[in-house]
Amino acid sequence: MTVKKHILRVPAEADIRQRMMQEAAKLVRERQLVPPVNFSLIEKLAGELIVRTGFDADYLEFGMVLCGNEVWRDVVTATPFNRRLLLLPQCLKNNRNCNATFDKLGLICAGCHNCQIDEILTVAEGLGYATLVAEGTTVAIGLIEEGSVDAVIGVSCMSVLEKSFVPVSRAAVPVIGIPLLHEGCESTEVDKQWLLKEINSFEDNYQLRPLSVSLLKDNVRSFFTEGNINKYFNGEPNRTREMAVFSMLQGGQRMRPVLAAMAYSAYAENYNEEILSAISLIIESFHKASLIHDDIEDQDDFRYEKETLHKTHGVPVAINTGDYLIGKGYELLAGLPVEPVLMQQALRLVSLAHVSLSVGQGEDLLNEKEGAIVAQEELLEIFRQKTGSAVKVAVLLGAVLGGADETEQKILSDFADYFGIAYQMRDDLDEFKNRNEDTSVKDYPMILSVLKKQIQQGGNGVSVEQLQDKEYLLKLIEEKQTEPKAEQFLDEYVQRIYSTLDQLQNMRLKLGLYSLTGKVFETEKKNK
């Protein structure tokens, strides 16, 4: 069904709005829909809503807002008041008598009682809401990404609500949207009774409460203090231990421990902070060991803008420190206070991940030594083994120890494969975009593998010598539009991530991973 353009009407009669809300709730319940839901499905639901109610087709877009609200309703109402944002538009103010001031975020209400804003803010802030009087949804999404809030109740004109649907869904922002009664940029109105009902609505349901990725990041970062690491890396002080602890304290986003924390927090019925702390250090021990070894293999002298361990202490010492971190990771894993069957699953999971990562890294190193341009399918398998395995061991270790069933584990395994492949694709594309005179062609294998397939499909012959000629390759890449083709390939894998996440039954983890995926990949798209 095709949406009529520029017909953004809201029913003037309260009873029509109420009837459509009731029918939208029934429709979403009947379909057993869970968020996020894409634009085309919401459009179809709204079409059915119009047919059911028999109301004017001009209310189709209003029906889309209502259906979107009902998809998110249970999540929003399960969000504590102090984790919600109320977003109001500036056009609700009374322009003739407004005494408000403005800052960089928006309007600062003066409490003059000359419009609805003051009364609404008073109710919301009394419940603990964060409030913002500003235009658009960009600021609201930013606040969720920062971890300030977990859900939004937003008031805006229909045109803004329509434009914001896709980005809000992709960012997995739990939101209830309430349209202004008519379009216009000043002295507009909102159905206050409807809005206050939404503001006051709350139902305590931990299983539906959003998993705040940013708050989990803060929690995970708190585990990586020298005191906490030393608590787990116990034993007699020695220089190898000191170098290992130093490595654990160095930069990075801690994405892998965060993934483990997300999965564990989402599934664990008996949440244990000590177990989460240990899991985070286990995952980071393995990760830091792989980085130390990678830096040696790739002959990289800097990491986190500091000299690498093999640069400061020599290759033998660096290898030994990496081995120490691997041993510590297994030691901490074996000491977790969990049931034997879970321990067996965890040890097998970590061991298989190490084998897979080593196989992928080995193929990568041998291909580089041989100067080969790897076929696209072979390169994707290397990406899956190298990067996908690291993601998989993190998210699955948290899920297994949290008690996820086999079906959920299989979905998360597929997610990790696609996420790892897409993550490596993105890094290779970034390497190509940021290349300089010193950059070697081996630094962007993704581009070269796509080019190789283009050459094969075109039936063009390219000599071995030409494949080693950097300037010739760059010219060929430009002529064949290889970079846009590679970006399209990346987009396909990002879509596979979202399609896989749609299969998860655990709502909290599903929305958390949706949000994380959006931050990692969609931000890159915005900045192109």
Angle between the N-to-C axes of helices 273-298 and 315-334, in degrees from 0 to 180, rounded to the nearest 10: 160
User: What is residue 140's predicted lDDT score, i.e. its pLDDT?
Assistant: 63
For residue 232, give Cα distances in angstroms to 238, 248, 252, 369, 457: 15, 12, 20, 39, 55
User: What is residue 279's predicted lDDT score, i.e. its pLDDT?
Assistant: 96
Angle at 288 between CA 282 and CA 292, to 5 degrees: 145
User: What is residue 90's predicted lDDT score, i.e. its pLDDT?
Assistant: 75
* Contact (Cβ atoms closer than 8 angstroms) between residue 109 and residue 157: no
Distance between CA 476 and CA 472 in Å, rounded?
Answer: 6
Distance between CA 160 and CA 183 in Å, rounded?
Answer: 10
User: What is residue 426's predicted lDDT score, i.e. its pLDDT?
Assistant: 94
User: What is residue 143's predicted lDDT score, i.e. its pLDDT?
Assistant: 66
Instruction: For residue 39, give the nearest of 164, 173, 135 by alpha carbon.
Output: 164
Distance between CA 367 and CA 362 in Å, rounded?
Answer: 9
> Which tokens belong to 340?
């034997």
User: What is residue 265's predicted lDDT score, i.e. its pLDDT?
Assistant: 93
Distance between CA 257 and CA 285 in Å, rounded?
Answer: 10
At 148 the three-state DSSP class reads coil
Q: Which helix (H) or strand (E) holds 102?
A: strand 101-102
User: What is residue 111's predicted lDDT score, i.e. its pLDDT?
Assistant: 54
User: What is residue 162's predicted lDDT score, i.e. its pLDDT?
Assistant: 73
At 154 the three-state DSSP class reads strand
Q: Which residues pair with 6 in a beta bridge?
A: none
For residue 159, give Cα distances in angstroms to 163, 180, 181, 183: 6, 10, 12, 8
Phi and psi of 330, rounded to 5°? -70, -35
Phi and psi of 224, rounded to 5°? -100, 60
Count other C-beta atoms under 10 Å from residue 60's C-beta.
Answer: 21
Task: Give the CA count within 13 Å in the CB-facing half-sphere of 266.
Answer: 32
Count other C-beta atoms under 10 Å from residue 70's C-beta.
Answer: 24
User: What is residue 215's predicted lDDT score, i.e. its pLDDT?
Assistant: 82
User: What is residue 68's predicted lDDT score, i.e. its pLDDT?
Assistant: 93
Instruction: For residue 215, give the nearest of 89, 83, 330 by alpha carbon.
Output: 83
The whole-number mean pLDDT for each consecutive block of 10 residues of the chain, a chain of 528 residues, reads 58 93 95 87 94 92 94 94 88 61 51 71 93 71 69 85 72 86 72 94 88 85 94 88 94 90 93 93 96 92 91 95 96 94 95 95 89 88 95 97 96 97 93 83 86 77 63 87 94 95 92 88 54
Domains of the chain: 14-200 (no CATH), 211-337 (1.10.600.10), 340-528 (1.10.600.10)
